[in-house]
């Protein structure tokens, strides 16, 4: 390494240390002025330097060098499904919290050195205080939110990649990964959209590392006022991909689920204006597209691959894809831009025809928020890479195809199965699908998963996804009820242990077959009632292929 390059990497390393050790502080009194308070008592003279809802992450307090004031964490006692954060107030105080925010009654807690703040909604308050602590980072970033039942993580990644490929520094966070300073890191959180304190911290780190744009995967949970995770994010662009039945255990009805997702578009009307275009993007193929278009007064641009939508796409100056062709090396299609009234040939090094829609949304978002010539964006498309666990090809030299994907709903099954079945059938191969279903989640989708898989698969293997508190076999039998035509022991197998199930799938595969490993994707564990088992689908699949000596001679 030459001296100049060494100096460059040294500077980057030092800046990274400074960035991730940067301390933000606000006085408790300043925070109290910005929120609605029911009651407040104790010492409000200290400084807050972090916002925490997990008492184990509360920082030990110290003293500020300039003011000599005590500084430490604010602990937010969030109400939960299985427990109440107020149970951990003593733990937070023992670990050094300087301020406690809570809602409802508070019993047996008194400490003159701590400030106690009672509020009506502790989650919304945490969002407000987090934004205040980090100096409202979304006010200086061009923030693009992406919502939908499927396609969010891929679209977020594609927008992020295209922005950076076009010379526009951006950060992002999604279910799978996140990036603050250009380096893509696996997401350590268990939530698609993390709690508001993490959201605001990551946005602040993006801003402070020199990003101009932030791309946010906006889940229905994150957009719900019940969680307030995105309550104080100022969005410049909202991207809607689709709505299908999912997460009804949280939202109750499909109507409420759709309403919560549309909060992303309602948020556009609250944007005070910060120098970026404000707009929405919708997948016009989805029946809910008009609903989302009506949820905002801002301009909304549609995209589609279906001929029936062509007139609407032209009317609203959106994007349309035609002449779509998929091969083993990628996808080719023609993009029609009704804003410039031009057509462009496009090439993708991605698997799955459905990714054309994700790319249309991404190109449209990047073009509209940056104002770049769309031709400059399109020429970068061959450089766009797939997301971990999303239509990921696993090649260890075997003579059959292995694909890993996160698909875990009936609608996502209908997205991936038909095109794969058609392609594999042409080569004389079979489709072997392996999947399960999440425990303690929507049970109505399970037989429908089985029905769709049986329709497009020659062999179906059912295995654990995340059984949680449910019995694995009973859960998988609910899926099997949807494919009674499959003969057990020949066309249908129930093997709860996922590695064993994958091993069975590989043993059944012949030349030109396709083995689809569905439902886990990027995830790094399998959740049981009494334990969480570390697990990586890609690593497991590769090891089993090598151990089984599936490589070609």
| pTM recorded for the entire structure | 0.83
The response to whether 152 counts as a known ligand-binding position is: yes
The response to whether 148 counts as a known ligand-binding position is: yes
Please check the confidence at residue 6 and state whether its pLDDT lies above 60. no
- In tens, the pLDDT along 393-429 reads 899 999 999 999 999 999 889 989 998 999 899 889 9
Question: How many CB atoms are located within 10 Å of the residue 451 CB?
Answer: 17
Please check the confidence at residue 15 and state whether its pLDDT lies above 70. no
The response to whether 149 counts as a known ligand-binding position is: yes
- As a whole number, mean pLDDT of residues 60-77 equals 91
Position with higher pLDDT, 166 vs 63: 166
Position with higher pLDDT, 256 vs 109: 256
- In tens, the pLDDT along 313-345 reads 999 999 999 999 988 778 999 999 999 999 999
For the chain, what is the largest distance between any 2 Cα atoms, rounded to a whole number of angstroms?
A: 76
- In tens, the pLDDT along 79-102 reads 987 789 999 999 999 999 999 999
Q: List the Cα angle 88/93/97 in 5-degree steps.
A: 110
Position 549 scores a pLDDT of 75
CA 192 to chain centre: 4
The response to whether 153 counts as a known ligand-binding position is: yes
Domains and CATH numbers, the chain: 26-133 (3.40.1390.10), 137-318+353-372 (3.40.1190.10), 392-547 (3.90.190.20)
Give the three-state DSSP class for 137.
Answer: helix
Please check the confidence at residue 152 and state whether its pLDDT lies above 50. yes
The response to whether 55 counts as a known ligand-binding position is: yes
The response to whether 167 counts as a known ligand-binding position is: no
Mean of the per-residue pLDDT values for the chain?
A: 91
- As a whole number, mean pLDDT of residues 510-514 equals 94
- In tens, the pLDDT along 127-146 reads 999 999 999 999 999 999 99
The pairing of beta strand 177-179 with beta strand 184-186: antiparallel
**Number of residues that this document lists for the chain:** 553
Give the three-state DSSP class for 402.
Answer: strand
- As a whole number, mean pLDDT of residues 182-205 equals 85
Give the three-state DSSP class for 85.
Answer: helix
The response to whether 154 counts as a known ligand-binding position is: yes
Least confident of 1-5, 51-55, 164-168, 503-507: 1-5
Position with higher pLDDT, 68 vs 494: 494
The response to whether 150 counts as a known ligand-binding position is: yes
Position 21 scores a pLDDT of 55
The pairing of beta strand 170-173 with beta strand 177-179: antiparallel
- pLDDT category at 301 given cuts 50, 70, 90 is very high
- As a whole number, mean pLDDT of residues 189-197 equals 80
- As a whole number, mean pLDDT of residues 365-372 equals 98
Q: Which residues on neighbouring strands pair with residue 332, listed in sequence order?
A: 325, 347
Please check the confidence at residue 188 and state whether its pLDDT lies above 80. no
The response to whether 229 counts as a known ligand-binding position is: yes
- In tens, the pLDDT along 529-552 reads 999 999 999 999 999 999 987 665
- pLDDT category at 66 given cuts 50, 70, 90 is confident
């Amino acid at each position: 390494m030459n001296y100049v390059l060494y100096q460059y990497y040294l500077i980057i390393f030092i800046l990274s240390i400074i960035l991730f050790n940067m301390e933000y502080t606000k006085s408790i009194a300043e925070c109290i002025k910005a929120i609605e308070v029911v009651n407040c008592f104790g010492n409000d003279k200290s400084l807050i330097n972090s916002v925490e809802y997990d008492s184990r992450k509360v920082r030990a307090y110290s003293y500020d060098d300039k003011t000599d004031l005590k500084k430490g964490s604010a602990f937010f006692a969030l109400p939960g499904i299985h427990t109440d954060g107020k149970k951990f107030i003593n733990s937070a105080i023992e670990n050094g919290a300087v301020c406690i925010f809570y809602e409802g009654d508070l019993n047996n807690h008194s400490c003159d050195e701590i400030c106690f703040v009672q509020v009506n909604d502790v989650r919304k308050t945490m969002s407000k205080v987090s934004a205040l602590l980090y100096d409202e980072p979304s006010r200086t970033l061009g923030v693009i939110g992406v919502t939908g039942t499927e396609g969010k993580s891929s679209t977020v990644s594609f927008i992020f990649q295209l922005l950076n490929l076009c010379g526009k520094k951006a950060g992002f966070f999604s279910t799978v990964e996140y990036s603050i300073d250009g380096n893509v890191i696996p997401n350590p959180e268990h939530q698609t959209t993390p709690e508001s304190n993490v959201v605001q911290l990551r946005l602040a780190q993006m801003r402070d590392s020199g990003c101009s744009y932030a791309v946010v995967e906006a889940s229905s949970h994150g957009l719900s006022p019940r969680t307030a995770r995105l309550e104080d994010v100022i969005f410049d662009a909202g991207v809607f991909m689709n709505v299908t039945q999912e997460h009804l255990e949280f939202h109750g009805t499909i109507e409420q689920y759709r309403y919560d997702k549309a909060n992303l578009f309602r948020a556009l009307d609250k944007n005070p204006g910060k120098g970026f275009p404000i707009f929405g993007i919708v997948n016009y193929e989805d029946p809910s597209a008009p609903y989302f278009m009506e949820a905002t007064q801002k301009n909304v641009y549609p995209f589609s691959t279906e001929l029936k939508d062509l007139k609407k796409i032209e009317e609203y100056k959106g994007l349309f894809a035609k002449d779509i062709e998929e091969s083993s090396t990628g996808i080719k299609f023609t993009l029609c831009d009704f804003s410039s009234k031009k057509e462009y040939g496009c090439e993708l090094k991605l698997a799955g025809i459905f990714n054309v829609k994700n790319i249309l949304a991404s190109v449209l978002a990047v073009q509209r928020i940056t104002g770049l010539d769309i031709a400059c964006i399109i020429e970068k498309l061959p450089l766009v890479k797939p997301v971990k666990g999303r239509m990921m090809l696993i090649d260890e030299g075997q003579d059959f195809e292995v694909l890993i994907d996160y698909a875990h709903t009936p609608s996502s099954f209908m997205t991936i199965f038909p095109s794969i079945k058609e392609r594999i059938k042409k080569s004389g191969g079979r489709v072997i699908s392996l999947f399960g279903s999440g425990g303690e989640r929507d049970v109505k989708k399970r037989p429908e998963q089985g029905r769709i898989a049986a329709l497009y698969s020659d062999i179906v293997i059912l295995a654990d996804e995340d059984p949680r508190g449910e019995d694995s076999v009973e859960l998988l039998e609910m899926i099997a009820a949807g494919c009674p035509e499959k003969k057990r022991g020949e066309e249908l197998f129930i093997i709860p242990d996922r590695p064993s199930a994958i091993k069975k799938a590989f043993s059944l595969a012949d030349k030109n077959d396709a083995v689809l490993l569905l439902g886990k994707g990027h995830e790094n564990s399998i959740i049981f009632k009494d334990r969480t088992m570390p697990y990586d689908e890609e690593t497991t699949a590769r090891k089993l292929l090598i151990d089984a000596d599936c490589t070609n001679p």
